């Protein structure tokens, strides 16, 4: 039997909202989320129907080449948010608040969250942390901005956590994580990302919340899943977390394309006639006649 790959038709979708997230959880329909940082990737994700696009501060590591997410600034985030928002019209757009944009005071947190909507074209924001972030979360929501929480491995606390390691693995840590999730729900978060936590715990937390959980390295019991797109595309090979599934090896594909191109240039295979522009023969003759008959042309 021949296998034919079917490209999903491009249909104009209804805008996905935070309410859609809640309805999907009620209907037990899994939520799909991916990160994007540029216009053309966002365009494809939006066209195939990804529910939500996160402009993650993973930008710092997978696009800007920083060691971790800590150096990422508001300006860098907003620059990439604007590009994504130009490409995606239907997916719910989530802007990730960078390190130190919401920790100093609730006023700064609200002002910076507002910039994601006003200057970045985002629909809502995400920020990391549990009970210690309740005041900021409440203030942002009070300003009319939906907030997605983020618990478990929170990369902006990498130094406090002692590295990029799974969280909630002991009974006490699991209990604290559950309490944090309930507090975030109570504070008004519309969804919570659970990163690098044991599968049983993520499933248990998901069953105790009425808002959806979006897992990354948190097993199949979450209400939705998110992956960092350069990871799942096999583009970022500095390291690959255990929970990543590579859907394609773009790194190898790009390597081959770049080497082929280099060889084509060196051997004059590129550009060929198909990639070249030609002048009408008559115009060309006319041009030669004109330039050759000019005094000083040497012809
Ligand atoms: O920055 C990011 O990409 C994230 C995801 C890992 C959820 O926060």
Taking only Cα atoms into account, the Rg of the chain, rounded to an integer number of angstroms, comes to: 25
Residue 57 Cα: closest atom of ligand 1? 1
Mean pLDDT, the chain, whole residue set: 95
Is 13 part of a structural domain of the chain?
no
Q: Which of 2-6, 18-22, 104-108, 238-242 has the lowest mean pLDDT?
A: 2-6
What confidence tier does 106 reach under pLDDT thresholds 50, 70, 90?
Answer: very high
Residue that wins the pLDDT comparison between 293 and 194: 194
> What's the whole-number mean pLDDT along residues 157-173?
95
CB neighbour list of residue 76: distance below 8 Å, 6 or more residues apart: 59, 60, 64, 98
With 0.85 as the threshold, say if the pTM is over it. yes
What confidence tier does 55 reach under pLDDT thresholds 50, 70, 90?
Answer: very high
CB 84 within 8 A of CB 63: no
CA of 173 to the centre of ligand 1 (A): 21
Is 278 part of a structural domain of the chain?
no
CA 235 vs CA 34, 89, 186, 283: distances in Å: 14, 25, 38, 47
> What's the whole-number mean pLDDT along residues 214-226?
98
Is 273 part of a structural domain of the chain?
no
Is 137 part of a structural domain of the chain?
yes
Query: 37, 52, 58: which to mutate for ligand 1, most atoms within 8 A of CB?
Result: 58
What confidence tier does 8 reach under pLDDT thresholds 50, 70, 90?
Answer: low
CA of 27 to the centre of ligand 1 (A): 25
**pLDDT(298) > 70:** no
Q: Assign residue 108 the CATH number of its domain.
A: 3.20.20.60
58 CB within 6 A, ligand 1? yes
35 CB within 6 A, ligand 1? yes
> What's the whole-number mean pLDDT along residues 217-245?
94
CB 139 within 8 A of CB 167: no
CA of 218 to the centre of ligand 1 (A): 13
> What's the whole-number mean pLDDT along residues 100-120?
98
The pLDDT, as a whole number, for residue 3 is 54
The pLDDT, as a whole number, for residue 94 is 99
Torsion from C-alpha of 145, 150, 156, 157, nearest 10 degrees: 130
- How far apart CA 279 and CA 277 sit, in angstroms, is 7
What confidence tier does 12 reach under pLDDT thresholds 50, 70, 90?
Answer: confident
> What's the whole-number mean pLDDT along residues 191-202?
98
33 CB within 6 A, ligand 1? no
Angular region, 49: left φ>0, alpha ψ -120 to 50, beta rest: left
- How far apart CA 42 and CA 87 sit, in angstroms, is 5
Judge whether 263 counts as a catalytic residue: no
Is 234 part of a structural domain of the chain?
yes
The pLDDT, as a whole number, for residue 1 is 45
- How far apart CA 285 and CA 292 sit, in angstroms, is 10
Angle of the 171-187 helix axis to the 134-142 helix axis, nearest 10: 20
CA of 262 to the centre of ligand 1 (A): 35
Nearest CA to ligand 1 atom 6: 228
The pLDDT, as a whole number, for residue 283 is 98
Catalytic residue among 76, 185, 195, 203: 195
Is 37 part of a structural domain of the chain?
yes
**pLDDT(197) > 70:** yes
The pLDDT, as a whole number, for residue 5 is 63
- How far apart CA 194 and CA 196 sit, in angstroms, is 7
Domain range for residue 43? 18-253
Q: Which of 57-61, 148-152, 215-219, 238-242 has the lowest mean pLDDT?
A: 238-242
The upper half-sphere exposure of residue 248, i.e. CA atoms within 13 Å in the direction of its Cβ, equals 8
The pLDDT, as a whole number, for residue 2 is 46
Nearest CA to ligand 1 atom 1: 56
Cis status of the peptide bond prior to 271, with omega within 30 of 0: yes
Is 296 part of a structural domain of the chain?
no
**pLDDT(176) > 80:** yes
Is 299 part of a structural domain of the chain?
no
DSSP letter for 129, please: B
Count of domains observed in the chain: 1
Residue 193 Cα: closest atom of ligand 1? 7
The pLDDT, as a whole number, for residue 72 is 98
């Amino acid at each position: 039997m021949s296998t034919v790959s079917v490209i999903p038709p491009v249909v104009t979708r209804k805008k996905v909202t935070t309410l859609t997230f809640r309805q999907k959880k009620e209907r037990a329909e899994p939520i799909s989320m991916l990160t994007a940082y540029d216009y053309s990737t966002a365009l494809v994700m939006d066209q195939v129907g990804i529910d939500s696009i996160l402009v993650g501060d993973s930008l710092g590591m997978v696009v800007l080449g920083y060691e971790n997410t800590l150096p990422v600034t508001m300006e860098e985030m907003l620059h990439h948010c604007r590009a994504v928002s130009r490409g995606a019209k239907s997916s719910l757009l989530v802007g990730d608040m960078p390190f130190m944009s919401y920790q100093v005071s609730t006023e700064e947190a609200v002002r910076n969250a507002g910039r994601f909507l006003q200057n970045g074209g985002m629909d809502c924001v995400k920020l990391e942390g549990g009970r210690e972030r309740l005041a900021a979360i409440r203030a942002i929501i009070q300003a009319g901005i939906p907030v997605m929480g983020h618990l478990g491995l929170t990369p902006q606390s990498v130094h406090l956590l002692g590295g990029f390691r799974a969280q909630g693995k002991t009974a006490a840590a699991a209990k604290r994580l559950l309490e944090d999730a309930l507090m975030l729900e109570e504070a008004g978060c519309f969804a919570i990302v659970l990163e690098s936590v044991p599968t049983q715990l993520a499933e248990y937390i998901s069953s105790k919340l009425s808002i959806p959980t979006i897992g990354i390295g948190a097993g199949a019991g979450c209400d939705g899943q998110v992956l960092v797109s350069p990871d799942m595309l096999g583009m970022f090979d500095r390291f690959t977390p255990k929970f990543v599934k590579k859907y394609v090896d773009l790194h190898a594909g790009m390597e081959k394309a770049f080497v082929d191109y280099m060889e084509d240039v060196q051997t004059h295979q590129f550009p060929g006639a198909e990639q070249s522009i030609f002048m009408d023969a008559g115009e060309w003759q006319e041009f030669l006649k004109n330039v050759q008959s000019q005094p000083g042309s040497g012809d």
